[in-house]
Amino acid sequence: MSQGRLIPADPFDVDPWGVIEHGLDLSAQARSESVFALSNGHIGLRGNLDEGEPHGLPGTYLNGVFELRPLPYAESGYGYPESGQSVINITNGKIIRLLVDDEPFDLRYGELRSHQRSLDFREGMLRRSAEWTSPAGRTIRVESRRLVSLTQRAVAAVEYQVEAVDGPVRIVLQSELVANEQLPGGDGDPRAAAVLEAPLMAELRHADGTKAVLVHRTRYSGLRVAAGIDHLIEGPERVDITAESSEDQGRISATTVLEAGQKVRLVKFMAYGWSATRSLPAVRDQVEAALTAARYTGWEGLVAEQKEFLTGFWADSDIEIDGDVELQQAVRFALFHVLQAGARSEERAIPAKGLTGPGYDGHSFWDTEAFVLPVLTYCMPSAVNQALRWRHTTLPMARDRAAQLGLAGAVFPWRTIRGEECSGYWPAGTAAFHIGADIARAVVRYVRSTNDLEFERTIGLELLVETARMWRSLGHHDAVGRFRIEGVTGPDEYSAIADNNVFTNLMAQSNLRSAAECATRNQMEAAALGVDTEEAAAWRDAADKMYIPYDETLGIHPQADGFTDHQLWDFENTPPEKYPLLLHYPYFDLYRKQVVKQADLVLAMQVRGDAFTDEQKARNFAYYERLTVRDSSLSACTQAVMAAEVGQLDLAYDYTAEAALMDLRDLGGNTRDGLHMASLAGACIALVAGFGGLRDHTDSLSFRPRLPSGLRRLSFSMGIREHLLRVDITHETTTYTLRRGGALPLSHEGEPLRVERGRPVSRPTPVVESPPERAVQPPGREPARRHGQAGVAQQNPTPDHLAAE
């Protein structure tokens, strides 16, 4: 066995522009594989070691590639989905096995003298270096660089270099394509992925020279997947190359002898493609063409393209922090992975884990529209356009689902890959109808921020119309004329099948109004969809009469009808090991108690702040803080935004750090299954909407900036139509600078401003003179305090309860 595995005390260095891992902890491999995952929204490569083993969880993913699996029910019911969809580990092209005098380079054996991996957000590459002595005493150095191209959608590449420290030594490099890899079994956690054995059936195999191609087809979903590799190999004068293939493997081998100090370098180009409809030759040829283009570009060309792409992204979209280096690292980590998730998704979903792991079976939820798209709207609107176009392509299935449920319009799925509902649990699935309004809100935000009127006419209008029709048929006017929406589940999945959930009703109200306004602006297109003045008037009337519950006795909004009449959950006698509650208590008990899984009413106050007074926000926030256990990673960012708005800046700082560090610190204990994309995006929202005070409810942006004591400065840039706005906030001054575009109207603390290029506008940053008393959370559920030296958190442990989305 190995003489030592170089296990670090803290796995990642704090670096403002990257993640660096010194040493190697084999027991935490799966977590590091998620953190070091590379993606472009089409291809996803987990950060597995180049040689393939040891691994925590191997993973190579193509967005939209899945297999069908049955959804068994002990007792079936009308409207239950019949089958589920699970992302599959497709053909792995990352593997480069290395033999040193016939001994495999395996870090479990021999002596690992040094090992380091790093991910620099500015270059978009995973770097690795290792020095290893084999059991027979031969020492080598290995250097590798890996990227998934953000400019060539179908391409990934690896540069792999081996140096002999004490030659001569015979080196064999085996560069492989491997399908149907054996995967570790699941742990029974419903948030993890189903493990599907050998989902790929071979259709074609070919290997010749330095190139290999495999084509497979999924057994039940009928998707055709092609993967190809090609190579450039440089080394001593003699390097022998062989090519071979079998149904599930393609291998290019290079053999040479290195003297001490000599190196062999292998550049591996990978290409992937898939289709549900195209022929085998068409999919194969697509991959062959992508390999040809990658080889033409060359390794250095791909590196240069990647860096140029990211230089532009960071110049226009960076979030800068002074006073907390760890938080700076975390927010750039968040932006980088959110960018990777959406950059080249191109009419495919953005899953809850991106393409970093198989958690939640690779499904997309409301997370995308509610958390990820708000960030991408202002830094990469093209990705938002594509994500919403994907939703539009699923409209036929959403209409069928609505008809099955006896509703008009479209009912979008709670969880899906292709567009069908894949949630087998109605109360926390289909009953969460608010996803329709989340999609509608994303449409309105995108059109407002880009002025993409063509998109509004061809895509946005139909999404707004069909979701408005759903709300109008789902709700009804009661005896006194109020419009009620009953039997639904809001964001808080510990309160299911509720009447008049405030978040749902307020979001539906916005949806109905937006649909009516959009139909008025696009009358010809609306008429083609069957919208007439009577239907639009019915939407406006329902919106105007929307019922929003309010508890006059307590002076707060109940999360839904009767919520504040429920018995309080017994927090005092709930031990820490019983969280998350959904894994330890029956749902019927959760549903009838006052306990909140994640921000619900508090989220309503963030997205519909116009529907609440400042006093109501403060009272509601204090009330729900003592009930919210944050058994979802979606919660902390929302609580951060509202804590900042009500003046509890230090609490907001604590929650921001929790959202941002969810994966770098593995706060939920499940980063192994993939990164929490919504929490990462939420960390950006917490900074920009929380401390920056950004609100985008209208055509004009508004800001109410304020900083916690732990931060000295916060700066961010955002694109809005043809403008690029930079906001710089210190404790004394907030400055608005227009870096691109004509004059831009906005407001600062309610004061209208007009910012012109070359003429920055500064205003005092407000100070919270008398901050309210810090809100109280359930015992043991408090966020870790962020008040330490140099912005590093104190050593009170963060509660180890944070579940995935």
Q: Which CATH number characterizes residue 242's domain?
A: 2.70.98.40
Asked if 525 and 453 touch (Cβ cutoff 8 Å), the reply is no
What's 684-748 look like in SS3?
A: HHHHHHHHCCCECCCCCEEECCCCCCCCCEEEEEEEECCEEEEEEEECCEEEEEEEECCCEEEEE
Q: What is the pLDDT of residue 770?
A: 82
Please check whether residue 778 lies inside any domain of the structure.
Answer: no
The pLDDT tens digits of the residues spanning 601-655 come to 999 999 999 999 999 999 999 999 999 999 999 999 999 999 999 999 999 999 9
pLDDT at site 466: 98
Asked if the structure places residue 645 within a domain, the reply is: no
Contact present, 58 and 48 (Cβ < 8 Å): yes
pLDDT value for 184: 80
Q: Cα 61–67–72 angle (5° rounding)?
A: 135
Listing DSSP states for 530-563 in one string gives T--HHHHHHHHHHHHTB----BTTTTB--SSTTG
- Give pLDDT, residue 494: 97
Tell which residue, 9, 208, 11, 190, has the closest CA to residue 116. Answer: 11
pLDDT digits (tens, 9 = 90+) for 212-226: 999 999 999 999 999
Render pLDDT for 698-739 as a digit per residue (tens, 0 to 9). Answer: 889 999 999 999 999 999 999 999 999 999 999 999 999 999
Reading the block at residue 743, the tokens are: 């004059």
pLDDT at residue 794 is higher than 90 = no
Could you tell me how many helices (H) and strands (E) the chain has, helices first? 19, 32
Task: List the Cα angle 348/71/431 in 5-degree steps.
Answer: 70
Average pLDDT over every residue of 31-58:
97
User: Which pLDDT score is estimated for 186?
Assistant: 58
pLDDT digits (tens, 9 = 90+) for 348-369: 999 999 999 999 999 999 999 9
Pairing between strand 12-15 and 567-568? unpaired
What integer pLDDT is reported at residue 536 of this predicted model? 98
Alpha-carbon distances, residue 716 vs 247, 691, 708, 756 (angstroms): 51, 11, 16, 17
In a domain, 474, yes or no: no
Q: Flag whether pLDDT at 476 surpasses 80.
A: yes
Q: State the pLDDT at residue 585.
A: 96
- 77 by Cβ neighbours in 10 Å (0-12 / 13-18 / 19+) ranks as exposed
| Residue-level pLDDT at 309 | 98
Computed over its alpha carbons, how large is the radius of gyration of the chain? 27
Is the link from the previous residue into 580 a cis peptide, with omega within 30 of 0?
yes
pLDDT tens digit sequence for 397-451: 999 999 999 999 999 999 999 999 999 888 989 999 999 999 999 999 999 999 9
* All residues at 6 or more sequence positions from 493 whose CB lies less than 8 Å from its CB, including other chains: 427, 428, 432, 582, 597, 598, 632
Instruction: Report the distance separating Cα 438 and Cα 369, nearest Å.
Output: 6
Give the span between the Cα atoms of 58 and 46, in whole angstroms: 7
Phi first, then psi: give them for residue 696, nearest 5 degrees.
-125, 40
Reply yes or no on whether the pLDDT at 792 is more than 50: no
Rounded to an integer, the average pLDDT of 367-392 is 97
Query: What's the whole-number average pLDDT of the chain?
Result: 94
Phi, psi of 338 (to 5 degrees): -65, -40
Question: Is residue 619 included in any domain, yes or no?
Answer: no
Percentages of the chain per state (helix, strand, coil), in multiples of 5: 35, 25, 40
Say how many domains are in the chain.
Answer: 1
Name the nearest CA neighbour of 170 among 255, 251, 104: 255
The pLDDT assigned to 80 comes to: 81
Mean pLDDT (whole number) for 329-345: 97
Q: How confident is the model at residue 195 (pLDDT cuts 50, 70, 90)?
A: low
Query: Does the pLDDT value for residue 7 go beyond 80?
Result: no
Report yes or no: 447 and 396 within 8 Å, Cβ to Cβ: no
- Give residue 775's Cα distance to chain centre: 29
For residue 266, the cross-strand partners are 160, 233
Handedness of CA 34, 378, 412, 624 (dihedral sign): positive
Largest Cα–Cα distance in the chain? 91
Please state, in angstroms and rounded to a whole number, the distance separating the CA atoms of residues 533 and 194.
Answer: 48
Closest by alpha carbon to 691, among 635, 652, 735?
652
Average pLDDT over residues 169-177: 97
Answer for the pair 19, 47: CB distance below 8 angstroms, yes or no: no
Please state, as a whole number, how many other Cβ atoms lie within 10 Å of the Cβ of residue 742.
Answer: 10
What digits encode the pLDDT tens for the residues 122-153? 999 999 999 999 999 999 999 999 999 999 99
Q: What is the pLDDT of residue 192?
A: 57
| Angle at CA of residue 796, ends 622 and 630, nearest 5° | 40
Whether 147 is in a domain gets the answer: yes
pLDDT by residue (tens digit) across 478-501?
A: 999 999 999 999 999 999 999 999
Q: Which of these, 607, 642, 637, 609, lies nearest to 624 by C-alpha position? A: 642
pLDDT at residue 190 in the model: 57
pLDDT at 626: 98
Residue 6 has pLDDT above 70, yes or no: no
User: Does 523 score more than 90 pLDDT?
Assistant: yes
**Residue 680: inside a domain, yes or no?**
no
Q: Report which DSSP code applies to 781.
A: -
Strand pairing of 139-148 and 155-164? antiparallel
Instruction: Please state, in angstroms and rounded to a whole number, the distance separating the CA atoms of residues 195 and 220.
Output: 15
**Structural domain harbouring 117:** 12-69+83-315
Q: How confident is the model at residue 74 (pLDDT cuts 50, 70, 90)?
A: low
Is residue 538 in a domain?
no
Query: For the chain, what percent of residues have pLDDT higher than 70?
Result: 95
**Of residues 228, 222, 1, the one with CA closest to residue 106:** 1
Compute CA 621 distance to the chain's CA centroid, rounded to the nearest angstrom. Answer: 26
Cα–Cα distance for residue pair 385/107, rounded to 1 Å: 44
Predicted local confidence at residue 805, as pLDDT: 39
Question: What does the pLDDT read at residue 790?
Answer: 39
Is 773 noted as a catalytic residue in this protein?
Answer: no
Q: Determine contact, residues 594/568, Cβ cutoff 8 Å.
A: yes
Taking CA atoms, 717 is separated from 449, 699, 711, in Å, by 14, 18, 18
b/e per residue 623-634 (b: at least 16 CB within 10 A)? bbbbbbbbbbbb
Q: Find the length of the chain.
A: 805
Distance CA 148, CA 367 (A): 24
Which of 369, 493, 535, 645 is catalytic? The answer is 493
How far apart CA 116 and CA 129 sit, in angstroms, is 5
Rounded to an integer, the average pLDDT of 576-605 is 96
The answer to whether residue 519 sits within a structural domain is no
pLDDT band for 196, please (50, 70, 90 cuts).
confident
227-249 mean pLDDT: 96
